[in-house]
Amino acid sequence: MTRYAGNAAALRALVREQEVHRDVYVSEEVFQLEMEHMFPNSWVYVGHDSQVPNAGDYFGTTIGTQPVLLVRHTDGKVHVLHNRCPHKGTRITSETCGNTGKFFRCPYHAWSFKTDGSLLAIPLKKGYENTGFEQSHAAPGMAPVRHVRNYRGFVFAKINGGGLDFEEFFGESLSSFDNMIDRSPAGQLKVAGGVLRYMHNCNWKMLVENQTDTCHPMVAHESSAGTVVEVWKKAPPGTKKPMAVEIIAPFMSPYEFFENMGIRIWDNGHGHTGVHHSIHSDYSAVPGYFEKMTAAYGEERAKAILGENRHNTVYFPNIMIKGPIQLLRHFKPIAANKTLVESWTFQLVDAPDMLLERTLMYNRLINAPTSIVGHDDLEMYERAQEGLHSNGNEWVNLQRLYSPDEAEQTNVAVNGTSEWPMRHQFRAWSKFMTMGM
Partner 1 sequence: MSMLAEAPLKNAVPTDQELIDFVVREARLIDQQRFDEWLDMYADDAFYWMPLEWNQTDPRLTCSLMYEDKLLLSIRVERLKGARTFSQKPKSRCHHVLQTPQVDSRDAAANSYVTWTAMHYVETRLEEQTLYAAWATHHLSVEDGKLRIKLKRVDLINCDAAFGNIQLFM
- The whole-angstrom separation of Cα 180 and Cα 188 is 9
Shortest CB 341 distance to partner 1, Å? 8
For the bound state, the minimum distance from the C-beta of residue 336 to partner 1, rounded and expressed in Å, comes to 17
Hey, which residues between 211 and 240 contact partner 1 (CB under 8 A)?
A: 220, 222-224, 226-228, 230-231
Q: How far is the CB of 363 from partner 1 (least distance, A)?
A: 6
CB of 331 to partner 1, least distance (A): 13
> 143 or 372: whose CB is closer to partner 1?
372
- What mask, x for binding partner 1 by CB under 8 A, covers residues 320 to 359? --------------------x----x-------x--xx--
Residues 433, 34 contacting (CB under 8 angstroms): yes
Residue pair 286/354 in contact (Cβ under 8 Å)? The answer is yes
Q: CA-CA distances (angstroms) from residue 163 to 39, 393, 425?
A: 12, 35, 17
- Calpha distance 161→41 (Å, rounded): 8
Which helix H or strand E contains 381, and what residues bound it?
Answer: helix 372-387
CB-neighbour burial class of residue 216 (10 A; exposed 0-12, middle 13-18, buried 19+): middle
- Give φ, ψ of 242 to 5 degrees: -70, 155
Nearest distance in Å: CB 353, partner 1: 6
Closer to partner 1 by CB, 137 or 233: give it. 233
**Closer residue to partner 1 (CB): 33 or 220:** 220
Footprint of partner 1 on 357-376 (CB under 8 A):
357, 360, 363-365, 368-370, 372, 374-376
What number of CA atoms fall less than 13 Å from residue 334's CA on the CB side?
12
**Which residues ranging from 187 to 206 are in contact with partner 1 (CB under 8 A)?**
192-201
Complex with partner 1: residue 30 or 220, whichever CB lies closer = 220
Binders in 53-92 for partner 1, by CB under 8 A? none
Among 82, 79, 84, 68, which residue's Cα sits nearest to residue 149?
Answer: 79
Q: In the bound complex, what is the minimum distance in angstroms from residue 79's beta carbon to partner 1? A: 26
Could you tell me if residue 402 is left (phi over 0), alpha (psi between -120 and 50 degrees) or otherwise beta?
beta
Q: For residue 282, state whether it binds partner 1 (rule: CB under 8 A).
A: no
- Binding-site size for partner 1 (CB under 8 A) equals 41
Buried b (16+ CB within 10 A) or exposed e, 152-176: ebbbbbbbbeebbebeebbbebbbb
Cβ proximity to partner 1, 26 vs 196, nearer residue: 196
Nearest to 78 by CA among 120, 39, 117: 117
Using CB under 8 A as the binding rule, the residues of this chain from 372 to 431 that contact partner 1 are 372, 374-376, 378-380
Closer to partner 1 by Cβ: residue 14 or 279: 279
CA 40 – CA 44 distance, rounded (Å)? 8
Q: Which residues bind partner 1 (CB under 8 A)?
A: 192-201, 220, 222-224, 226-228, 230-231, 242, 244-245, 340, 345, 353, 356-357, 360, 363-365, 368-370, 372, 374-376, 378-380
